[in-house]
C-alpha cells in the first residue's frame, strides 16, 4: 500500500467544507483561481457566476510560481483592489480552485514548495463545488463584505468583534445521533450546528467524570481556537489543542508524526471527539473536516467557550471573551460566572441518545 507523504501532499477540501470555510470566513482564506484561459472559455455559465461571487484572485497555474516568488510586485497586479489585494504571508490559508481540481492540486504543491504552509485544493474543483453553493440573494453576504468585517461571526482568523451580549445556558440537542452527511451551509446558518451534532456542557462534564473514574478518557476534547486565544483566556481542563488553520494538513499525518506535532494521539474512526472554539463556527468547520477524514463520532461543544463559561465551566480558569482578529488588541475577558451543578439525568440521557454511551 502506498503511504501518503503529508509533508508534500496538499490538503484537499470537500465541497461542503469549502463552502463552510468561504461563507463563514472564520479563517479568511485567500482564494486563488488557477484555471487556464481554455478552462475559463469552457466554463459553464452557472459555474462562472459562482466564481465571480467568490471574488478570487486570478492567476493561471503556469504563472503561479513567478507571482508567488515576486509577490511584492506581481500579486497586487493580479488582485487589483479586491478583498485579497494584500500579498499572502507564508502562514495565510490559501485555497486553490480549478475546474475539476487537478490544476488546483498542482498549484497547491507549487505553493508548498515555495514555503506556504496552509494551502489546500478543492476536491473536484468548481464543478463539484458549484452545485452546493449557498443561494445568492440580497441578504447573502458577499466575499467583500465578509472580508471587510461587515458580517461578523466567531472572529476565527480576524475581523470584527462578535456580539457583546452574554449567552444563555448551553442547550442540549436530542435530534439524531452523530450526523456524518455533508450539509450545505448558508449565510443564515453559518454558526448553526444541528442539535443532534452538539454536546452540552453538562453532558461533556459527565463524560469526562466517567472517564476519570475508569482511569481512561472516554472523549478527546479538541480546542480549535488560535494559539493566542488559548494562551490569553485559558483552556477547558482536559482539552488538547489543534488550531483549525492546521487541521487540514494535520489529518494527512501518520499517527506518529501527528503525536510528535500536537502532543496527543491522533483520533481514529471509533473515538468520540468533541471540538470547540470560542462559539461554534470554527468548531463546525473542524467537525466537517474530521467527518470528511472518516471520523464520524464527532460532536461540537454547544456554544463553545461562551456557553461553557455561562454555566460556570468545570472549575478551571477559562474565560469568555469577544471575538478579535489575530494581531488585534485582545478584549477584556468577561467576569467569571458561578459554577452551575450538572443536571445528571439530563446529561446521561443526552449521552445515551447520541450513542456516546451505550445503555
Q: Can you tell me the distance from the alpha carbon of 157 to that of 160, in angstroms, rounded to the nearest whole number?
A: 10
Long-range contacts of 79-86 (CB under 8 A, 24+ apart): 82/55, 82/57, 82/144, 83/55, 83/143, 83/144, 83/147, 83/148, 84/30, 84/31, 84/55, 84/56, 84/57, 84/147
| Domain ranges across the chain | 11-147, 187-353
Instruction: Quote the distance between the C-alpha of residue 343 and its chain's center.
Output: 30
Give the Cα separation of 323 and 277 in Å (integer).
11
Listed range (21-30, 39-48, 206-215, 280-289) with the worst mean pLDDT: 39-48
Please give the order of strands across the beta sheet that includes 30-33. Answer: 11-13, 118-122, 93-97, 30-33, 57-58
Whether the domain at 11-147 and the domain at 187-353 fall into the same CATH topology: yes
How far, in Å, CA of 77 to CA of 57, rounded? 10
Under the banding of pLDDT at 50, 70 and 90, the label for residue 113 is very high
72-86, 136-150, 186-200, 343-357, range with the lowest pLDDT? 136-150
What does the pLDDT look like over 143-188, one tens digit per residue?
444 333 333 356 544 433 333 333 333 333 333 333 333 344 343 4
Q: pLDDT tens digit string along 219-239?
A: 999 999 999 999 999 999 999
Q: What's the Cα-to-Cα distance from 51 to each of 33, 45, 47, 61, rounded to whole Å?
A: 8, 10, 6, 16
Is the pLDDT confidence value at 10 over 80?
Answer: yes
What would the CATH number be for the domain defined by 11-147?
3.40.250.10
CATH, range 187-353: 3.40.250.10
Query: Per-residue pLDDT for 323 more than 90?
Result: yes
Q: Which of 305, 308, 118 is nearest to 230 (CA)?
A: 305
Amino acid at each position: 500500500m502506498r503511504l501518503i507523504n503529508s509533508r508534500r501532499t496538499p490538503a484537499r477540501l470537500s465541497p461542503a467544507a469549502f463552502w463552510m470555510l468561504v461563507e463563514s470566513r472564520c479563517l479568511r482564506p485567500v482564494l486563488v483561481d488557477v484555471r487556464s484561459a481554455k478552462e475559463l472559455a469552457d466554463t459553464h455559465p452557472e459555474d462562472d457566476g459562482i466564481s465571480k461571487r467568490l471574488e478570487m484572485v486570478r492567476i493561471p497555474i503556469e504563472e503561479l510560481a513567478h507571482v508567488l516568488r515576486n509577490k511584492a510586485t506581481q500579486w497586487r497586479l493580479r488582485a487589483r483592489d479586491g478583498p485579497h489585494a494584500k500579498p499572502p504571508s507564508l502562514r495565510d490559508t490559501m485555497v486553490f480552485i480549478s475546474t475539476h481540481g487537478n490544476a488546483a492540486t498542482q498549484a497547491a504543491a507549487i505553493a508548498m514548495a515555495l514555503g506556504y504552509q496552509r494551502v489546500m485544493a478543492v476536491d473536484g474543483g468548481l464543478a463539484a463545488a458549484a452545485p452546493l453553493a449557498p443561494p445568492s440573494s440580497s441578504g447573502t453576504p458577499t466575499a467583500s463584505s465578509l472580508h471587510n468585517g461587515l458580517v461578523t461571526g466567531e472572529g476565527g482568523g480576524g475581523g470584527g468583534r462578535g456580539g457583546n451580549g452574554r449567552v444563555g445556558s448551553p442547550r442540549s440537542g436530542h435530534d439524531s445521533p452523530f450526523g456524518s452527511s455533508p450539509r450545505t451551509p448558508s449565510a443564515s446558518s453559518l454558526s448553526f450546528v444541528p442539535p443532534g451534532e452538539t454536546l452540552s456542557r453538562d453532558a461533556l462534564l459527565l463524560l469526562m467524570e466517567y472517564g476519570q473514574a475508569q482511569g481512561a478518557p472516554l472523549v478527546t476534547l479538541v480546542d480549535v481556537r488560535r494559539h493566542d486565544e488559548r494562551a490569553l483566556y485559558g483552556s477547558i481542563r482536559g482539552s488538547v489543542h489543534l488550531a483549525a488553520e492546521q487541521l487540514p494538513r494535520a489529518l494527512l499525518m501518520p499517527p506518529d508524526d501527528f503525536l510528535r506535532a500536537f502532543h496527543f494521539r491522533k483520533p481514529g474512526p471509533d473515538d468520540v471527539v468533541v471540538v470547540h472554539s470560542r462559539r461554534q463556527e470554527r468548531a463546525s468547520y473542524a467537525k466537517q473536516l474530521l467527518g470528511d477524514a472518516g471520523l464520524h463520532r464527532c460532536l461540537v461543544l454547544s456554544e463553545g467557550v461562551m456557553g461553557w463559561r455561562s454555566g460556570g465551566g468545570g472549575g478551571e480558569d477559562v474565560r469568555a471573551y469577544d471575538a478579535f482578529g489575530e494581531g488585534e488588541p485582545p478584549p477584556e475577558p468577561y467576569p467569571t460566572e458561578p459554577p452551575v451543578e450538572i443536571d445528571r439525568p439530563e446529561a446521561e440521557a443526552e449521552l445515551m441518545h447520541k450513542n456516546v454511551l451505550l445503555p
